[in-house]
Amino acid sequence: MYQQYSRKVFWLIIISTIIKLLAAAFLELGNDEVYYWTYAIQSDWNHFDHPPMVGWLIRLTTFNLSWVNEVTIRSGAIICSGFATWIIFKLGKLLDSERLGWLAAWIYTLSIYTGFIAGLFILPDSPQMLFWSASLYIMAHLLLKREEENLSIWLLLGLMIGLAALSKIHGLYLWAGFGAFLLFSRIQWLTNWRLYLGVLITLICIFPIFYWNYQNDFITYRFHSERVSNTSLRWDMLGQEIVGEALYQHPFLFILILIGLFAAITNRIRFARKRIRLWLGWMSIPMILIFWTVALFNPTLPHWAGPAYIPLYFVAAMYLEKRTTRNVPIILQASLGLVLIFLITGTVLIRFSPINFGSQQKENYGEYCPTLDMSGWKDFSTSFDSLRKADIVAGTMKASDPLVVNKWFPGGHLEFYTARTTGINLLGVGELQDLHKFVWLNQERQALQQGGDAYYILPSNLPVDVNKTMGAYFDNIDSPVVINQKRGGKTVRYFYVYRLRSAKPNATAQLPVVSTH
């Protein structure tokens, strides 16, 4: 029976991939996804927020931007998820048995974070999960096969961790966690010169990140350091972080992980080798505690700690293996049911709901409605294209007049759905902290000339005072044209299209002057 698990995992991957491809085809891109599209259209060794891997992945799956749609953009995440699931299965087999790998593969697939946030939507986490899982497998191979004298294994580990860090820089925790484990468990390995060659490979991989930051006044680190600069205790934010992690992992699976962790700590379940339990702990728990500590002082996002839960999937899987002989235990069946209900319901609401679930006030109609991020942008862009062409024919606006944005959201949506499809030049106007990558895009685009006109689009669910925001950069602002977003026959959002007149000098945002090092 155990020999059949590899085939079952194969079909688990195939079926989950088909489901994700269908979801990808039905849902427009979300806020973060369209923003990372900008990493693809302007490749670089690093970007304001993150390293470059997600942009490279988008270029790969869109055939160097020659075949662009929601499915091809997201297919990188889906493919990486499939390969990562297979690696999780092989790792479980290496740690104990094929059945352990089978159960861990189910947990990985059903986790909201690994299965969908990183496994369906295209984010920096998407490629990182593949390299993170591969790194864990190589570490386990080193530990269990006693191949510490094999240089190629260490070099491969360094490469996988380097690629994980090129996805998101906290991939470097893989070395930190593994190093701490070796310090307390196999300290003699710290004298192995091969380990340091592996570290060197990682440093070579991430050198472009530091070089880019050197050229840009280390702007990435100054940006992220400002996000964690508060010093007052905030227990409410810690509670939000823990609840968020539970939801992101899947409520049922989070409870299963806690039960499995308790069983492992109290020796109710055991791996074949005691040190494996210790290794899994070092590769997960300190990282989770780090983000909990950060959350005590600063706002955090639950997916930051997401990779740290992967080692705990094996603890949860071991608990299930010892407790039940069912092929798919009841808690996994229930988790699957909840995932399918959420996915189907969410897709239907996003595509067809006649109701916006946010504000009902016209001035911020739809604000806080989660369904609006992934709907309406295609139809709006078609309507805007017609309006713009009519303006050009009437002489109200010129074909060269750009579309300006002052924040990366909805800038990403306007870049992908509007500027890309209509051919209008899109420029960032405002502050670097609001525009992020769009300031770098400005460097490759025709700047807004003094006295020139431009369009500005305000979705009602992202309200700002346009006169105050754009008045600093333009002399006059025409009354807006209103384009309704309809869904299920009802209006769920308004798009206000403003014509901005007579740009002031240097309206187009520029990169800050880099200080001399």
pLDDT of 1 reads 43
Name the DSSP class of 115. I
Q: How far, in Å, are 225, 230, 242, 254, 299 from residue 235 at the CA level?
A: 21, 13, 11, 21, 11
Question: Please, what is the end-to-end C-alpha distance for the chain in angstroms?
Answer: 64
The answer to whether 476 touches 504, Cβ cutoff 8 Å, is no
Show the CA angle centred on residue 117, arms to residues 84 and 461, nearest 5°.
Answer: 165
* Geometric angle at alpha carbon 170, from 167 and 174, rounded to 5°: 100
What is the mean pLDDT for each group of 10 consecutive residues in the chain (517 residues)?
80 98 98 98 96 98 98 98 98 96 98 98 98 98 93 98 97 98 96 98 97 91 66 88 97 98 94 90 98 93 97 98 95 98 97 96 94 97 98 98 97 98 97 96 96 98 96 97 97 98 94 65
For 41-76, what is each residue's pLDDT tens digit? Answer: 999 999 999 999 999 999 999 999 999 999 999 999
pTM of the model: 0.96
Tokens of 429: 């106007």
Domain boundaries, the chain: 2-347, 362-503
